[in-house]
Amino acid sequence: MQAGLPRIGLRVRLFLISVLLIALVGTASAVLLRASLRGLLERRITAELEFRAEAVRILVESLDPPAEVEPVGRLVGAFAQDGQSPRITVTTSEGVVLADSRPRAAAEAPTGEEPMLMVEAPYQTTSHGGVVRASVEVEVMEEALAPFNLAVGAAGVAGLGIAVFMSGLASHLASRDLRLMMERVQRALARSREGAAQAPEEQDLSVLAGGVQDLAERWRQANSDVHSERARLSALLDSLKEGVLALDPEGHITGANPAALRLLQLQGAPLGRSLVDVVRAAPIITIVRAALNERSDGSAEVELSEGLFVLATARPLQGQAGCVLVLHDLSGMRRLERVRRDFVANVSHELRTPVTIIRTNAESLADGALEEPAVARVFLTAILRNTERLGQLINDLLDLSRIESGRQVMRSQKVQLAPLVDRVLENLQPRATEISSSLQNQVEAGATLCGDATAVEQILMNLLENAVSYAGPGSTIRVHASSRGANLRVVVEDDGPGIAERHRERVFERFYRVDPGRARQHGGTGLGLAIVKNLAEAMHGSVGLEAARPKGCRFWFELPRPD
């Protein structure tokens, strides 16, 4: 719109458009109706002309003009009732007028050039032929339509007046609703902009369209922010080690992260299910009900399954119904506490026996046994043996602590396995000879592995000492190696009584003994296999135990081979 011209408001535009539309529809309807009525009237007049012309034709043919022209004239004159009646003219084929319903125009035969409707009926007598013409002026038909035109005009004016009134009322109501809508859009925009709401300056659809577009853009941005925030929250929940469950006011699960599924040992997300159906722990149900009904926090420590301890915390949602249940996995902590208690108990038990023996023998020597050389030697031997046992226990504890803390440096190098096994077997040969056991090195000459030579030697020493001590007299102990992919597996195998399956998973724990009485009889500390496991893992290897066939044990450890 050009500058300086007044801007037409929406209300005026709606009014003008509706009035123009009604006027166009009314005019078109009137024109179509008049044309239809004119056609109907024209068809009726034509039918009447045809009837009259045919009647005159029949009469003319029954006579024999021109001898009997007078009867024809009387008949034709009978049709001339008024000035608007159809004109009947009888002419010969030469154009001579024999009769005319309008005597004043009898001298002029109609030519068909005047604006009129005309029909012709040819006749033929014994003496001559001719034409009977019936015609009427067009203006007669227009005069017949004049009352209809007047009625249509009056109805159109009345209808237009009513239309103007209704259009004005409709435009007023529409503009009022539009203004209310624009005010709501402005208030919504003001709230999104944290400003004061301003009333629209004009009622224009462009203002409403702009506001709606602005709101749509802000909605898309807000929706994008919500999706981004939801993705970040989902990633955060998925990365948590704690299990998180969202519950609605009825106690149904509306969300759960992978840690919660793992702790509850569920295969899929239990969305929509009741917490009572998923968790069968009464303390958890109690704190959740308190959070939902009393809006209070609560926590409880529960053992969900054997060895699986969790600390459950329920907290109501702020500003809305429902609550969040958080499950902290305490299994590792409880396992460490159990290991610590077992370790303290085992160390205390292992120390108590040699210390008691040493003290008892020392007191005996102090009470006078020292004066008897034979008895004193027995007591001193017992003190020496238990002192060595204490020293070995302390050394094993120090080695285990140093390995677990990472203070023992592992130097990875290429180690020839066969010579190392020979050296260990040579050190153990005297003990094996005492019990008639056979030690065999079946490792191939070229077998090599990567690791710390001292640590590998200590592993072999501990495994072979166990085999010599527990396989029994007359047993055969073999050491062999085989490739396992990128690793080399070294196996220490004996044909002794073996170890029951229920003990195999725990033999590498500290102070774990299959037969405590027999272990102390052989002077073991219960830490040898724990040291083996920690040394192998420190060199990026692994250890294990299998049953030999038909009897015995197969302890093995794997370490990487050289590239």
Q: Within a domain: residue 23?
A: yes
**Residue linked to tokens 């939801």:** 230
Q: Within a domain: residue 210?
A: no
Cα angle for residues 104, 107, 113 (degrees, 5° grid): 95
* C-alpha dihedral sign at 411, 412, 418, 421: positive
Q: Within a domain: residue 214?
A: no
Q: In this structure, are 347 and 316 located in the same domain?
A: no
The average pLDDT across 472-501 equals 88
- Radius of gyration from C-alpha coordinates of the chain: 61
Q: Within a domain: residue 379?
A: yes
Q: Which of 408, 511, 525, 510 is nearest to 465 (CA)?
A: 525
Residue 324: which H helix or E strand, with range?
strand 323-329
Residue 288: which H helix or E strand, with range?
helix 282-293
Q: In a 3-state reduction of DSSP, which class is residue 226?
A: helix
Q: Write phi, then psi, for 242 (nearest 5 degrees).
A: -80, 140
Q: In this structure, are 447 and 531 located in the same domain?
A: yes
Q: Which of 468, 385, 463, 395 is nearest to 434 (CA)?
A: 468
3-state helix, strand, coil in the chain (%, to 5): 55, 20, 25
Q: In this structure, are 56 and 19 located in the same domain?
A: yes
The predicted structure's pLDDT at residue 317 = 85
**Residue linked to tokens 């319903």:** 101
Q: In this structure, are 131 and 150 located in the same domain?
A: yes
Q: Within a domain: residue 219?
A: no
pLDDT digits (tens, 9 = 90+) for 103-122: 655 444 444 455 778 888 89
The predicted structure's pLDDT at residue 491 = 92
Q: In this structure, are 198 and 248 located in the same domain?
A: no
Rounded distance, CA 313 to CA 325, Å? 6
Q: Which two tokens stand for residue 365?
A: 């020597």
Q: Which two tokens stand for residue 549?
A: 């066939």
Q: Which of 392, 420, 560, 563 is nearest to 479 (CA)?
A: 420
How is residue 484 annotated by DSSP?
Answer: E
What is the dihedral angle through the alpha carbons of 507, 511, 515, 517, rounded to the nearest 10 degrees?
170
Rounded distance, CA 360 to CA 383, Å? 9
Work out the pLDDT band at 557, boundaries 50, 70, 90: very high
How is residue 274 annotated by DSSP?
Answer: B
Which residues make Cβ contacts (< 8 Å) with residue 272, sequence separation at least 6? 252, 253, 254
Which residues make Cβ contacts (< 8 Å) with residue 269, sequence separation at least 6? 256, 261
User: What is the number of other CB atoms lying within 10 angstroms of the CB of residue 114?
Assistant: 10
Q: Within a domain: residue 227?
A: no
Query: Taking 90 as the threshold, does the pLDDT of residue 479 lie above it?
Result: yes
Looking up residue 360, the CATH number of its domain turns out to be: 1.10.287.130
The predicted structure's pLDDT at residue 48 = 82
Higher pLDDT, 252 or 168: 252
Q: CA–CA distance from 25 to each of 37, 148, 384, 526 (Å)?
A: 18, 18, 127, 109
Which residues make Cβ contacts (< 8 Å) with residue 176, sequence separation at least 6? none
The predicted structure's pLDDT at residue 221 = 77
Q: In a 3-state reduction of DSSP, which class is residue 503?
A: helix
The predicted structure's pLDDT at residue 93 = 82
Q: In this structure, are 374 and 482 located in the same domain?
A: no
- 292 within 8 A of 283, measured Cβ to Cβ: no
Q: CA–CA distance from 3 to each of 7, 10, 13, 201 (Å)?
A: 9, 18, 19, 18
Which residues make Cβ contacts (< 8 Å) with residue 561, sequence separation at least 6? 448, 449, 450, 483, 486, 487, 488
Q: Which of 140, 116, 127, 52 is nearest to 90 (CA)?
A: 52
Q: In a 3-state reduction of DSSP, which class is residue 528?
A: helix
The predicted structure's pLDDT at residue 513 = 67
pLDDT digits (tens, 9 = 90+) for 179-209: 666 666 666 666 655 544 444 444 455 555 6
Q: In this structure, are 354 and 448 located in the same domain?
A: no
CA 532 to chain centre: 49
pLDDT digits (tens, 9 = 90+) for 526-536: 777 888 888 88
Buried b / exposed e over 212-247, threshold 16 CB at 10 Å, is: eeeeeeeeeeeeeeeeeeeeeeeeebeeeebbbbbb
Q: In this structure, are 360 and 288 located in the same domain?
A: no
Q: Of the residues 402, 418, 443, which one is the last residue of a structural domain? A: 402
Q: Which of 429, 456, 552 is nearest to 498 (CA)?
A: 552
- 280 within 8 A of 290, measured Cβ to Cβ: no
**What does the mean pLDDT of the chain come to?**
77
Q: In a 3-state reduction of DSSP, which class is residue 479?
A: strand
Q: In this structure, are 40 and 105 located in the same domain?
A: yes
Q: Of the residues 362, 379, 402, which one is the last residue of a structural domain? A: 402
Number of domains in the chain: 4
Least confident segment among 8-12, 65-69, 312-316, 320-324: 65-69
Q: In this structure, are 375 and 420 located in the same domain?
A: no
pLDDT digits (tens, 9 = 90+) for 267-298: 777 888 888 888 888 888 888 888 888 888 88
How is residue 163 annotated by DSSP?
Answer: H
Between β-strands 487-494 and 542-547, what pairing exists: parallel, antiparallel or unpaired? unpaired
Which residues make Cβ contacts (< 8 Å) with residue 175, sequence separation at least 6? 9, 10, 11, 14, 203
Q: In this structure, are 246 and 283 located in the same domain?
A: yes
How is residue 65 annotated by DSSP?
Answer: T
Query: Taking 90 as the threshold, does the pLDDT of residue 257 lie above it?
Result: no
Give me the domain span that covers residue 545: 409-560
Looking up residue 483, the CATH number of its domain turns out to be: 3.30.565.10
Query: Taking 60 as the threshold, does the pLDDT of residue 521 lie above it?
Result: no
Query: Taking 50 as the threshold, does the pLDDT of residue 538 lie above it?
Result: yes
**pTM of the prediction?**
0.44
pLDDT digits (tens, 9 = 90+) for 30-72: 788 778 877 887 888 888 888 888 888 887 777 765 555 666 6
Query: Taking 80 as the threshold, does the pLDDT of residue 175 lie above it?
Result: no
- 346 within 8 A of 352, measured Cβ to Cβ: no
**Residue linked to tokens 């295969």:** 267
Q: What's the maximum distance between 2 C-alpha atoms anywhere in the chain?
A: 200
Rounded distance, CA 301 to CA 188, Å? 49
Q: Of the residues 378, 402, 426, which one is the last residue of a structural domain? A: 402
Cα angle for residues 65, 70, 71 (degrees, 5° grid): 85
Q: In this structure, are 17 and 92 located in the same domain?
A: yes
Which residues make Cβ contacts (< 8 Å) with residue 122, sequence separation at least 6? 57, 129, 130, 131, 132
Cis amide linkage into residue 497, ω under 30° from 0:
no
- 502 within 8 A of 555, measured Cβ to Cβ: no
